Amino acid sequence: MADRLNYVVADVNDLLNNNDEISIGDMSKVADEVIDDLAELVAKQGKSIHVDRQGVLNNIKILCIVYDDETPIAIGGLKKGKNFEYAFRKINKLDLINEYDYEIGYFYTEKSYRGKMIEIGNSNLPIFIGIIKLLINFAGKNKNYCFTMLQSRTKKFENLFKKNGYNLLGKYPSITAAGDYVTLWGNHNND
């Protein structure tokens, strides 16, 4: 592992319309390479990704990729707009959908890096939390965010969400994991 993990946070539309090099810590990559890195990690997460070169990369509006040297090791993204309507419909709270600006998701960290720390400003944070902070800072702190989380894999994050101002909005049965459920968490920033 490198002495320091690097990261990039970018608007996907800017990446898709830009072939310039992007500075990532001590290295630089062409925008297309960053998109390829994203696709690689999303595939490892078990999802497919479709790149539309006219400005839409699936549902992702803003992405964050963490690198160890030049190797992509973790991702997270913000989904803009009403792409998360399904979750609000499942918890019977469609009236809340207009109160949220982004859904945070697409999280994946390579197994050998889970539990490792990343330096963000003057803080060392777990990679997962670092990605969330980077995404929120990039999008704007005065926005409202929600998370959709599969319960069995993310139960340990409940206290983390609560400590950071997130409330449980509701839950619904998982269609992929029998007997499990999906939780929807949201903050409400009144700044």
Bridge-based pairing state of the strands 123-126 and 181-186: unpaired
Residue 89 lies in a domain: yes
Residue 178 lies in a domain: yes
> DSSP letter at 26?
T
Split into its structural domains, the chain has a count of 1
Residue 1 lies in a domain: no
Task: Please give the model's pTM, rounded to 2 decimal places.
Answer: 0.74
CB atoms within 10 A of CB 71: 13
Q: What does each of the 191 residues of the chain score in pLDDT, given as a tens digit?
A: 656 677 777 766 666 666 565 566 555 666 777 777 877 887 777 665 554 433 335 567 788 889 888 888 998 888 765 567 888 888 999 888 888 878 887 788 898 998 888 888 788 888 888 888 888 777 776 777 777 776 666 666 777 677 767 888 998 888 776 778 888 888 876 54
Contact 56/80 with Cβ under 8 angstroms? Answer: no
> DSSP letter at 109?
E
Residue 191 lies in a domain: no
